[in-house]
């Protein structure tokens, strides 16, 4: 597998053209880029196109996992709060075209398997990642939200620990992991403020950092081991007027509106200090210092595109000339701030300052992340290790992004409970789109499977996706997937559309135990019944991915089949 050197120049963020000195130059440059990308799409060409890819695709059906071959390295690129249809593969949405350019993911789709229904075990940062780490469903982890850990996990075994200790992998992690904060080997807080017991997450090496807001807000004494804050505190940047300012003061000005007066401008806050770019740099640092001759696993935890949605000047300019679709049933919400008349009047002829919020800046973060992910994979290729590396790209959960008046996560709707998922590497079919439901919980089981770990820790229920990746139907496959958060639980299963129609579709049953479990519900959803303990909702997510057509009154037979699959005590 080889990635074009041309792509490295065209895509990697640090090599992109510098920001034009005026809005007119910015707009002209952007139009040229958009036209070039549009022509590529029409001609079915791509920066990354490899003339060997058609031959590789023809041969891929015969490729099967060989247990006697070298165990693959595993590179897991994890985005935070990534909406499933904002993956570069969906060119149209219910409210209009989606002009998102993600050429690296285009290449991932060609050279691997793209999953269109990847559900998370819980659509919240901490719970979702705890499920992945412990290989268990949401209700079995004791991690019900980002703050409440209801059991002592210090004696639990993670999938990372199995990879390190049982499979002899060199395991690495960097970025915003949302894991247990007091790791035995790599603590996040130097003074352990909550008196939490220590545990071993299972990493051989790690550079841990925190989320966007906590880096700006929390007291310095709580973060003596937090890598990104330490980095920002230690460097000086220049403002537009040439004066010096501490980088963290510029960061605070852009992300929370505090810090030094007028500290957030186009010069002080550039991609050199952007949080996602920092995590990319740490990933490459970990690759540089890993031992040679040993299989490795690395999880790269990008903090974006999680809010605050902030774009540097270059990122903001790159999306301002494109039209972005409105949220469903919420027109005008999350408009692009750099496109407003007020902005144009107040900044005529000036360099575009960093921008916050708006769907366009969510897109800017994603396009920047696409370039950063490419640069990491390109580095692995330059190390001579890409041919034996499985690359996985996913999100920890989705983002409602203003649909039906609600933004964020923690909801049972498709935009929040699902995420993009791409996998490529040795033994994985090329150009395959898998449209059935899978769970990101099973990424852990997939890693263990390819690493040759035969025995999981007690209580682990994670499975493997290899039956899909290698198209080996003799391997077991999860019959249904589940998700949940606080006031609701859901189960999704692929099954015949009806007794008369054998066409497969995916039905989603939602059980809510209070109106809180219906936050962000479309207006078409049946309301929570007064005086009742539960409310059941049913959707065909294959035909209705936006959850606009409730069918619980029409298909009691489907409800009867799915109801027993919910956790004990939910709607039964």
Domain shared by 12 and 129, yes or no:
yes
- By CB atoms closer than 10 A (0-12, 13-18, 19+), residue 86 is buried
Q: What is the pLDDT of residues 444-476, one digit of tens each?
A: 999 999 999 989 999 999 999 999 999 877 777
Q: What is the pLDDT of residues 277-297, one digit of tens each?
A: 999 999 999 999 999 999 999
- Whole-number Å distance between alpha carbons of 379 and 391: 13
Is 376 part of any domain? yes
Question: How sure is the predictor about 190, in pLDDT bands with cuts at 50, 70 and 90?
Answer: low
- Whole-number Å distance between alpha carbons of 493 and 477: 12
**Residue range 228-251: mean pLDDT, rounded:** 94
Is 336 part of any domain? no
Kindly report the average pLDDT of the chain as a whole number: 86
Q: Are 280 and 380 in contact (CB under 8 A)?
A: no
Domain shared by 121 and 195, yes or no:
yes
Domain shared by 318 and 434, yes or no:
yes
With pLDDT > 90 as the criterion, what percentage of the chain qualifies?
Answer: 72
Domain shared by 138 and 91, yes or no:
yes
Place of tokens 């089949």: 561
CATH number at residue 85: 3.40.720.10
Better-predicted residue by pLDDT, 364 or 220: 364
Per-residue pLDDT at 35 exceeds 60? no
Per-residue pLDDT at 328 exceeds 80? yes
Domain C-terminal end among 456, 479, 502? 479
Per-residue pLDDT at 46 exceeds 90? no
Domain shared by 432 and 536, yes or no:
no
Domain shared by 463 and 519, yes or no:
no
Domain shared by 377 and 515, yes or no:
no
Q: What is the count of structural domains for the chain?
A: 2
Domain shared by 51 and 112, yes or no:
yes
Q: What is the pLDDT of residues 69-106, one digit of tens each?
A: 579 999 999 999 999 999 999 999 999 999 999 999 99
Question: How sure is the predictor about 33, in pLDDT bands with cuts at 50, 70 and 90?
Answer: very low
Q: Report how far apart, in Å, the C-alpha atoms of 165 and of each of 162, 363, 451 are.
A: 5, 39, 12
Give residue 22's pLDDT. Answer: 33
pTM of the full structure: 0.88
Domain C-terminal end among 479, 503, 532? 479
Domain shared by 546 and 450, yes or no:
no
Is 452 part of any domain? yes
In terms of residue numbers, what domain contains 419?
Answer: 5-212+275-329+365-479
CATH number at residue 560: 3.30.1120
Per-residue pLDDT at 158 exceeds 60? yes
Domain shared by 533 and 467, yes or no:
no
């Amino acid at each position: 597998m080889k990635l074009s050197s041309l792509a490295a120049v065209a895509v990697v963020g640090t090599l992109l053209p510098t920001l034009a000195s005026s809005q007119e130059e910015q707009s002209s440059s952007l139009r040229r880029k958009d036209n070039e990308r549009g022509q590529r799409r029409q001609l079915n060409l791509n920066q990354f196109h490899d003339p060997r890819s058609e031959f590789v695709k023809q041969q891929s059906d015969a490729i099967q996992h060989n247990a006697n071959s070298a165990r693959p390295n595993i590179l897991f690129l994890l985005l935070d709060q990534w909406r499933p249809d904002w993956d570069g593969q969906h060119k149209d949405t219910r409210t209009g075209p989606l002009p998102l350019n993600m050429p690296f993911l285009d290449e991932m789709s060609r050279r691997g398997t793209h999953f269109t229904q990847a559900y998370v075990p819980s659509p919240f940062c901490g719970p979702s990642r705890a499920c992945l780490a412990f290989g268990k469903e949401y209700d079995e982890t004791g991690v019900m939200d980002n703050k409440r850990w209801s059991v002592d996990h210090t004696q639990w075994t993670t999938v990372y620990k199995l990879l390190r200790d049982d499979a002899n992998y060199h395991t690495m992690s960097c970025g915003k992991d949302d894991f247990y904060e007091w790791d035995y080997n790599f603590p996040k807080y130097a003074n352990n403020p909550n008196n939490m017991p220590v545990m071993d997450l299972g990493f051989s090496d790690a550079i841990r950092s925190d989320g966007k807001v906590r880096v700006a807000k929390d007291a310095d004494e709580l973060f003596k081991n937090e890598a990104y804050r330490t980095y920002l505190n230690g460097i000086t940047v220049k403002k537009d007027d040439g004066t010096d300012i501490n980088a963290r003061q510029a960061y605070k000005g852009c992300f929370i509106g505090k810090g030094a007066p007028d500290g957030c401008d186009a010069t002080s806050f550039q991609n050199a200090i952007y949080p996602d770019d920092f995590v990319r740099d740490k990933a490459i640092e970990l690759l540089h210092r890993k031992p040679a001759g040993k299989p490795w696993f690395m999880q790269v935890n990008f903090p974006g595109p999680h809010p605050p949605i902030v774009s540097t000047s270059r990122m903001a300019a790159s999306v301002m000339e494109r039209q972005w679709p409105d949220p469903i049933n919420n027109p005008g919400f999350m408009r692009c701030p750099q496109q407003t008349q007020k902005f144009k009047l107040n900044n005529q002829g000036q360099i575009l300052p960093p921008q916050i919020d708006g769907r366009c800046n969510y897109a800017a973060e994603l396009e920047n992340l696409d370039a950063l992910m490419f640069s990491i994979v390109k580095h692995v290729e330059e190390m001579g290790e890409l041919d034996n590396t499985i690359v996985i790209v996913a999100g920890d959960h989705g983002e409602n992004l203003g649909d039906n008046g609600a933004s964020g996560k923690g909801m049972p709707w498709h935009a929040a409970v699902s995420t993009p998922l791409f996998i490529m590497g040795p033994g994985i079919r090329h150009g395959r789109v898998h449209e059935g439901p899978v769970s990101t919980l099973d990424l852990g089981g997939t890693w263990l499977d390819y690493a040759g770990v035969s025995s999981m820790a007690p209580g682990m229920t994670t499975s493997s996706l290899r039956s899909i990746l290698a198209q080996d139907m003799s391997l077991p496959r999860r019959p249904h997937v589940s998700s949940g958060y606080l006031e609701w639980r859901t189960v999704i299963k692929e099954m015949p559309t009806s007794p008369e129609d054998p066409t497969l579709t995916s039905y989603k049953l939602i059980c809510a135990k209070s109106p809180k479990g219906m936050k962000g519900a479309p207006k078409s959803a049946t309301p929570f019944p007064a005086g009742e303990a539960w409310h059941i909702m049913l959707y065909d997510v294959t035909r209705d991915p936006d959850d606009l057509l409730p069918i619980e009154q029409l298909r009691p037979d489907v409800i009867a089949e799915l109801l027993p699959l919910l956790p004990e005590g939910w709607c039964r």
